[in-house]
């Protein structure tokens, strides 16, 4: 869920940023350009292009979906094979209490180490909704973009990940040596909230390898199609996803199953109990958490973070944002800069969904035995999932709802990476030299499993990096651009060369 | 929806009533027995039995479903043909703003007139859930019952209705004259709340015919399978079914469509607005309407009604009721008699369903643009649908929710029929002579379109009558018993004879 969130934000942030490139040309950073390796590697990337495209297509044909227990062992084995094929050694499938992770290293004796994070799972899909079958991974002409691979996982995340592996292979094919050593850590449960990924990164040999690294990144390709711009995120909110459930079974009042609604005059209603419990969680306007102690560990934005938010607000169009979101006003009719500061700084309690009783067309005279609210609660530094879940439970108990269940379904802690971390500065350098506008954003309002890396014991700077474009994550007709006719965004070759340049930059950035 | 509600209540009420019949034998009431017509009519009923069964089967094969606009004109035409076949004259299909009704009379010059109400529509169905195809109307052996017709509409309401027509035809076939004149009024929208039925009964010629009648009844077959007992309802609560909808579109705040939930820190939530609006509708325990002025026209139970409720409570097992409903305690831990009195006397605001945002398994990080609560509000005499809808709207406006929509989807006024009405006394007489325990119930907590008759301008006593058994209304494998092996309940012959006897009783009851 999370990686998609970042991309949506990136698209929005990038929509109004200025870029004047008339045709996308990959411009290597100084480190790569001066390495003497440039021409040979560029040639190798070009020579390997068809193989890179085919590797993305082949991978898409094996979908792993944790929620459906589909091809999980097969997906992990395939991931391990891809890593070995790219030259990684010590590759192992790492068992967890859930689905396995994959780990490998590529030690070329370079002074610095860089970690890369892969997900090998994809979001589920309904083939009936696709214009090209989601597992065909067909090459399709997409208006305004050129040739794209259309298929589930094309951009989220197999396309960019395969391009990173292609970068590693191109350096070897050119007879050159990687500028950094690599640690690869992969999971197959990203789309269900990474519930067991911490078991992978804290396995002693994995943790020892990660501890050597400058930072960790996930390969992306999130250039804005209109401007070519990207966003560099310095952190993200955390998230608790949970279900709040009132039921006759737990309450001991009301019916255990749905009964006829005429009984309401004599029988208590779990649905009304849910409403009463929910109502205590937020202020009457629904906009601020009212859970006891919720703000105890909320750290205000620093002056620098406020400055970056203000810059983002100034660089983006309020009108575009409102249009894109379909909203007329922000909370409390806040002006745009204040609304953006609220977005970056405030924890939330959001209702994702309500489900009780009869949910079809028209009505049905039932008194439901159970009512559920699906919530997501966004956390900001230094709130934690563990502490907040305790507070939520304690709050419901104190308000007289000990029977109302909190079913935790997934989440991450908030994450922050320092602006002067090498993986941030390397991103800025590469983007700048490629004439790609990169907006520094202090905190994504969305969430991703970065805290697995930024939290102890791994404690690494974490982020995203990539050149190129794809979209429709979690939606039908997901795509990844392979041959770009859009002058603002790179195709597969530019994407691969971007990863090559990023590794060279990581080797030398001060 | 409504006729089913009554039956469920009947089953519950009957479950604990005593009946000692060792084999079901139809015993005609005095009027019928002394008419001299008995033997000839009984022979005609027996001779016509196969045709009666076939007429039910044939009718089931033409399902009319108003919600799906399925076979409505065809269903009305078929209904009219059935009426003509039974000897009704002046038969007409009565157009309405919705689906048509059907009207006919059968004037034999008898001193008294009786009206009968038919529904020709059925509830929708999913053939995949049935053990025998719902339109096959196959004769199936059902354990504990004997031979039944299994199909959609078998009990709700085509089986009993066809048996009533068979009764009319048997009298003619025996060369006898109907003891009463008949008025037949039919609708095809019962399952969607009878929104246009008033247009049928107030058509001048229809109204004029109805005004001659002693009362109106719907043919039923709701004997308890364990005791053979039935319930005589003297009234029913009214109902408002509606959707309460909060949306970004109407509110002017929050998103118009679902957006990514990370935006919650800047964007208002229609789902939280729904919660806030709902919370004002009831007391904190969810058990008493808190809508301004809601109790203005609520008429308390009379002493006689309280007495009947107490009798019902005494005649029924609290333990059985709790087990059947899956509840451990009644509202406010009331003792059984008080809980039954609350059930009969109190208006309700019930949540039938909650639907917002993502409703599938797990979670999905959306901020929904719209949230809906499906409510049913049961009304007691002398509340009216019209007045209560106005009060609900005014309440939401006054509480600051003018944007929160109330979408009325159907309803009826409450209805009352006097205990000394001839259709009540005739029922009691026929049931008593057939040794069928008949519990007099002052007010059904469910609802049915009886108020179309009991309200002005029709102003007729209205009720149900029938001997026999069927069940699973609105559910898969709906059935109607045709050859009973259960000594407590009648099959088709008993059902038909019951209607014959009821007409004879109506002709003479004082």
Please tell me the distance in Å from B267's CA to the nearest CA on chain A. Answer: 5
Residue B365: which of A5, A269, A340 has the nearest Cβ? A5
Please tell me the distance in Å from B508's CA to the nearest CA on chain A. Answer: 36
Confidence (pLDDT) at A475: 83
Confidence (pLDDT) at A211: 98
Residue A351: which of B248, B272, B410 has the nearest Cβ? B272
At a CB cut-off of 8 Å and minimum separation 6, what does B503 contact? Answer: B114, B167, B171, B178, B179, B180
pLDDT tens digits along B265-323: 999 999 999 999 999 999 999 999 999 999 999 999 999 999 999 998 998 889 988 99
Q: How far apart are CA B362 and CA B360, in angstroms?
A: 6
Q: What per-residue string of b and e applies to A308-321 under the rule 16 or more CB within 10 Å gives b?
A: bbeebbebbeeeeb
A266 and B365 in contact by Cβ < 8 A? no
A268 and B284 in contact by Cβ < 8 A? no
H or E element at residue A391: helix A385-398
List the one residue out of B201, B286, B195, B252 whose CA is nearest residue B457: B201
Q: How far apart are CA A490 and CA A205, in angstroms?
A: 37
Across all residues in chain B, what is the average pLDDT? 92
Among B10, B280, B356, B363, the residue to mutate for chain A (most A Cβ within 10 A): B363
What is the pLDDT confidence band of residue B71, given thresholds at 50, 70 and 90? Answer: very high
List the one residue out of B497, B509, B445, B490 whose CA is nearest residue B2: B445
Q: How many whole angstroms from its chain centre is CA A463? A: 10
CA B73 vs CA B70, B85, B185: distances in Å: 9, 18, 16
Higher-pLDDT residue of B260 and B91 is B91
Classify B463 in phi/psi space as left (phi over 0), alpha (psi -120 to 50) or beta. beta
Tokens at A320, concatenated:
């575009």
ipTM for the complex?
0.86
What is the pLDDT confidence band of residue A382, given thresholds at 50, 70 and 90? Answer: very high
CA B424 vs CA A278, B68, B438, B456: distances in Å: 48, 36, 11, 20
Confidence (pLDDT) at A67: 86
Residue A327: which of B262, B267, B355 has the nearest Cβ? B267
CA A390 vs CA A46, A292, A383, B427: distances in Å: 54, 11, 12, 62
Q: Looking up tokens 């408002």, which residue turns up?
A: B240
B327 and A356 in contact by Cβ < 8 A? no
Q: How far apart are CA B389 and CA B197, in angstroms?
A: 20
Q: How far apart are CA B213 and CA B454, in angstroms?
A: 12
pLDDT tens digits along A395-426: 999 999 999 999 998 889 999 999 999 999 99
- Whether A187 contacts A200, CB under 8 Å: yes
List the one residue out of B410, B341, B346 whose CA is nearest residue B375: B410
pLDDT tens digits along A340-350: 999 999 999 99
Q: How far apart are CA B153 and CA B57, in angstroms?
A: 10
pLDDT at A214 over 70: yes
Please tell me the distance in Å from B323's CA to the nearest CA on chain A. Answer: 10
Q: Once rounded to an integer, what is the mean pLDDT over residues B392-396?
A: 98
CA B376 vs CA B239, B243, B258, B276, B283: distances in Å: 7, 9, 26, 18, 16
- Whether A238 contacts A455, CB under 8 Å: no
pLDDT tens digits along A453-500: 999 999 999 999 999 999 988 888 999 999 999 999 999 999 999 999
B276 and A264 in contact by Cβ < 8 A? no
Tokens at B456, concatenated:
């002005």
Confidence (pLDDT) at A364: 85
Confidence (pLDDT) at A10: 40
Tokens at A104, concatenated:
């490998």
Chain A residues with CB-CB distance to B241 below 8 A: 362-363, 365
What residue of B is the nearest CA neighbor of A346?
A: B265
Q: How far apart are CA B214 and CA B459, in angstroms?
A: 10
Q: Once rounded to an integer, what is the mean pLDDT over residues B67-89?
A: 97
Q: Once rounded to an integer, what is the mean pLDDT over residues A186-214?
A: 95
Tell me which range, A307-316, A383-392, B4-13, is most confidently predicted by mean pLDDT: A383-392
Q: How far apart are CA A339 and CA A333, in angstroms?
A: 8
- Whether A277 contacts A375, CB under 8 Å: no
Q: Of all residues in chain B, what percent carry a pLDDT higher than 90?
A: 81
Confidence (pLDDT) at B312: 87
Please tell me the distance in Å from B386's CA to the nearest CA on chain A. Answer: 19
B255 and A327 in contact by Cβ < 8 A? yes
B445 and A262 in contact by Cβ < 8 A? yes
Confidence (pLDDT) at B445: 85
pLDDT tens digits along B212-252: 999 999 999 999 888 899 989 999 999 999 999 999 999 99
A255 and B356 in contact by Cβ < 8 A? no
Among A251, A353, A369, A401, the residue to mutate for chain B (most B Cβ within 10 A): A353
Tokens at B110, concatenated:
């008898």
Residue B326: which of A239, A256, A357 has the nearest Cβ? A256
- Whether A9 contacts A445, CB under 8 Å: yes
What residue of A is the nearest CA neighbor of B443?
A: A262
B262 and A5 in contact by Cβ < 8 A? yes
Confidence (pLDDT) at A24: 63
Confidence (pLDDT) at B166: 98
Q: Within 10 A of B381 (CB to CB), how many other CB atoms are there?
A: 22
Confidence (pLDDT) at B277: 98
pLDDT tens digits along B354-393: 999 999 888 888 999 999 999 999 999 999 999 999 999 9
pLDDT tens digits along B404-459: 999 998 889 999 999 999 999 999 999 998 899 998 999 988 888 899 999 999 99
Confidence (pLDDT) at A215: 97
Q: Once rounded to an integer, what is the mean pLDDT over residues A258-285?
A: 96
pLDDT tens digits along B313-360: 998 889 988 998 899 999 999 999 999 999 999 999 999 999 999 998
Across all residues in chain A, what is the average pLDDT? 92
**DSSP label at residue A158:** I
Please tell me the distance in Å from A285's CA to the nearest CA on chain B. Answer: 7
**DSSP label at residue A107:** -
Q: How far apart are CA B419 and CA B425, in angstroms?
A: 8
B67 and A362 in contact by Cβ < 8 A? yes
């Amino acid at each position: 869920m999370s990686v998609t969130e970042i991309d949506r934000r990136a698209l929005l942030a990038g929509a109004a940023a200025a870029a004047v490139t008339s045709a996308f040309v990959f411009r290597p950073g100084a480190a790569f350009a001066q390495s003497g390796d440039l021409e040979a590697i560029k040639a190798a990337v070009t020579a390997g292009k068809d193989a890179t495209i085919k590797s993305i297509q082949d991978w898409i044909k094996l979908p792993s979906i944790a929620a459906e227990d589909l091809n999980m062992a097969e997906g992990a084995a395939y991931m391990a094979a891809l890593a070995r094929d790219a030259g990684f050694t010590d590759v192992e499938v790492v068992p967890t209490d859930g689905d396995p992770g994959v780990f490998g290293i590529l030690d070329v004796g370079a002074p610095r180490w860089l970690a890369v994070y892969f997900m090998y799972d994809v979001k589920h899909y309904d083939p009936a909704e696709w214009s090209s079958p989601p597992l065909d991974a067909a090459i399709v002409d997409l208006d305004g973009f050129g040739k794209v691979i259309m298929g589930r996982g094309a951009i989220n995340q197999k396309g960019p990940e395969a391009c990173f592996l292609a970068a590693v292979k191109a350096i070897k094919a050119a007879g050159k040596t990687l500028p950094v050593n690599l640690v690869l850590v992969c999971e197959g449960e990203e789309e269900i909230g990474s519930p067991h990924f911490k078991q992978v990164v804290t396995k002693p040999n994995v943790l020892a390898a990660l501890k050597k690294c400058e930072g960790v990144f996930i390969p992306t390709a999130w250039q804005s199609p209109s401007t070519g711009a990207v966003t560099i995120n310095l952190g993200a909110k955390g998230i608790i996803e949970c279900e709040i459930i009132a039921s006759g079974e737990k309450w001991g009042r009301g019916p255990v199953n749905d009964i006829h609604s005429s009984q309401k005059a004599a029988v208590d209603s779990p649905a009304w109990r849910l409403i009463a419990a929910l109502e205590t969680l937020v202020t009457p306007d629904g906009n601020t958490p009212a859970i006891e102690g919720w703000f105890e560990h909320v750290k205000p934005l620093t002056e620098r973070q406020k400055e970056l938010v203000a810059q983002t607000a100034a660089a983006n169009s309020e009108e575009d944002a409102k249009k894109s979101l379909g909203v007329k006003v922000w909370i409390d009719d806040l002006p745009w800069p204040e609304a953006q500061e609220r977005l970056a700084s405030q924890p939330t309690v959001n209702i994702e969904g309500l489900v009780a009783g009869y949910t079809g067309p028209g009505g049905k005279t039932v008194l439901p035995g159970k009512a559920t609210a699906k919530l997501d609660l966004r956390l900001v530094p230094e709130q934690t999932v563990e502490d907040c879940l305790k507070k939520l439970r304690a709050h419901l108990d104190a308000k007289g709802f000990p029977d109302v269940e909190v079913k935790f379904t997934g989440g991450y802690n908030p994450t922050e990476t320092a602006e002067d971390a090498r993986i941030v500065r390397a991103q800025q350098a590469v983007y700048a030299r490629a004439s790609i506008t990169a907006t520094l954003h202090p905190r994504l309002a969305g969430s991703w499993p970065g805290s697995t890396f930024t939290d102890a014991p791994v404690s690494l700077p974490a982020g995203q990096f990539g050149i190129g474009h794809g979209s429709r994550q979690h939606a039908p007709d997901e795509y990844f651009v392979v041959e770009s006719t859009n002058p603002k965004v790179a195709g597969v070759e530019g994407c691969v060369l971007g990863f090559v340049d990023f590794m060279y930059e990581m080797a030398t950035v001060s």
